[in-house]
C-alpha cells in the first residue's frame, strides 16, 4: 500500500471513529427510572405539593393532570379546565388542546403558565391560571401574559417561570424562530411587567425549544431541547444545558459557546428504545434534583421519563 493510501486509510479510520462517538456516547445514557400506571404524557411539568405528593401537568385538552404519592405510580386526575378554555381559541383554531404547561407552587397557591397555538405557527399566546389546590376544575384564568403574531420574530410557547435570588419573577419561553426569550413578570399578578425582552438562547432560526432555568449555587442553569419532537419513534429531541451567573445571561455551555450562538452541552439523547427525550423540567426533591421529560417508545407512544441529576466537580449536571 502506498504512503498516500496509508494516510488516506488512517484518515478514514479517524473519521469513522469520530462519527461513531455520538452513538457511543448516547448508548451510555441511562434509561428512564421506573414509573407505573398512567404514564402517557407529552410535555410534562411537575410540582411537589405541601402534603408530599406530586402533581403533573402536561399537554392535552384543557391541560391534562396526573398525580402520584410516591413518584412511581401515577394516575389521571382530570384536567385544569374540564369545561374548556374559550379564551384560548383565537390561537388554537378552535381546538381544545393546550400545550406545554409550567406548574409551580408559590405563596400558598399553584401557578400554571401554558401555551395556546397550532403546529408550525407563531400566532401563539401564553396564559396564566392559578388554583388554591391544583385540582381539576379549580383553576382560575388570570389572563394573557405574552403573545406572538405572524409578523413577530419569536414564538410565545413553552413557558417556564423563574424566581431569581432577589425574588424577581421572570418568564423564559420560546421555540424556533429567533429563539428563546426572557421577560420580567410582576410577582403580585404573575403577569408581564414592562416591555423588555431578552434573547437568552437560539440556533439562528433552528430547532430549539422548551427553556427551563433553575438556580443552583452561584449559577443559573438553562436547559433546552434541540431538534424535533412530535414524530413518534422518529423524534430527535435531545436535552442540552448552559449556565450563567445572571438570570438574564449570557448563558454558555461547558466549552464557553454562547447559547445565543447555538451553544449547549448535551446531557441526554435518544438511545436504545428511548427515542427523542426532551421537553425537560427540573424538580428539586428531598433526595436531590430530578430531570422530568417525555420520550417515545418503539411504537411511537409518548411516556413520562424521570432521572436523577448529579453534578460533576465543575458543577455541570449529568443524568444518572
For 8, list phi and psi in degrees, rounded to 5: -60, -45
Identify the burial level of 46 via C-beta atoms within 10 angstroms of its C-beta, where 0-12 means exposed, 13-18 middle and 19 or more buried: buried
pTM: 0.91
State how far the Cα of 235 lies from the Cα of 135, in Å rounded to an integer: 32
> Could you report the per-residue pLDDT of 14-53, keeping only the tens digit for each?
333 333 334 334 448 999 999 999 999 999 999 999 999 9
Select from 170, 148, 149 the least CA-distant residue to 161.
170
* Torsion sign (Cα): 85, 110, 277, 259: positive
Which residues are tagged catalytic? 43, 209
Select from 303, 78, 115 the least CA-distant residue to 209.
115
Select from 77, 80, 131 the least CA-distant residue to 107.
131
> Could you report the per-residue pLDDT of 266-301, keeping only the tens digit for each?
999 999 999 999 999 999 999 999 999 999 999 999
Amino acid at each position: 500500500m502506498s504512503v498516500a493510501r496509508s494516510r488516506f486509510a488512517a484518515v478514514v479510520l479517524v473519521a469513522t471513529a469520530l462519527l461513531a462517538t455520538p452513538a457511543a456516547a448516547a448508548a451510555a445514557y441511562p434509561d428512564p427510572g421506573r414509573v407505573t400506571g398512567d404514564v402517557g404524557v407529552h410535555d410534562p411539568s411537575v410540582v411537589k405539593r405541601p402534603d408530599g405528593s406530586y402533581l403533573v401537568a402536561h399537554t392535552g385538552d384543557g391541560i391534562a393532570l396526573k398525580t402520584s404519592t410516591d413518584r412511581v405510580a401515577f394516575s389521571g386526575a382530570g384536567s385544569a379546565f374540564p369545561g374548556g378554555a374559550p379564551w384560548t381559541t383565537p390561537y388554537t383554531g378552535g381546538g381544545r388542546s393546550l400545550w406545554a404547561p409550567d406548574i409551580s407552587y408559590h405563596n400558598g397557591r399553584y401557578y400554571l403558565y401554558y401555551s395556546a397555538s397550532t403546529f408550525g405557527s407563531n400566532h401563539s399566546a401564553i396564559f396564566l391560571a392559578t388554583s388554591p389546590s391544583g385540582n381539576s376544575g379549580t383553576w382560575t384564568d388570570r389572563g394573557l401574559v405574552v403573545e406572538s403574531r405572524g409578523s413577530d420574530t419569536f414564538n410565545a410557547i413553552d413557558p417556564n417561570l423563574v424566581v431569581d435570588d432577589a425574588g424577581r419573577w421572570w418568564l423564559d419561553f420560546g421555540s424556533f424562530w429567533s429563539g428563546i426569550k426572557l421577560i420580567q413578570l410582576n410577582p403580585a399578578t404573575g403577569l408581564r411587567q414592562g416591555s423588555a425582552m431578552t434573547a437568552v438562547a437560539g440556533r439562528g432560526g433552528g430547532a430549539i425549544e422548551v427553556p427551563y432555568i433553575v438556580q443552583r449555587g452561584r449559577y443559573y442553569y438553562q436547559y433546552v431541547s434541540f431538534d424535533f419532537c412530535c414524530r413518534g419513534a422518529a423524534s430527535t429531541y435531545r436535552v442540552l444545558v448552559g449556565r450563567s451567573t445572571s438570570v438574564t445571561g449570557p448563558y454558555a455551555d461547558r466549552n464557553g459557546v454562547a447559547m445565543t450562538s447555538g451553544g449547549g452541552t448535551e446531557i441526554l439523547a435518544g438511545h436504545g428504545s428511548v427515542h427523542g427525550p426532551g421537553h425537560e423540567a427540573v424538580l428539586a426533591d428531598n433526595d436531590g434534583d430530578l430531570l422530568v421529560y417525555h420520550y417515545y417508545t418503539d411504537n411511537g407512544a409518548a411516556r413520562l421519563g424521570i432521572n436523577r441529576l448529579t453534578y460533576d466537580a465543575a458543577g455541570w449536571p449529568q443524568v444518572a
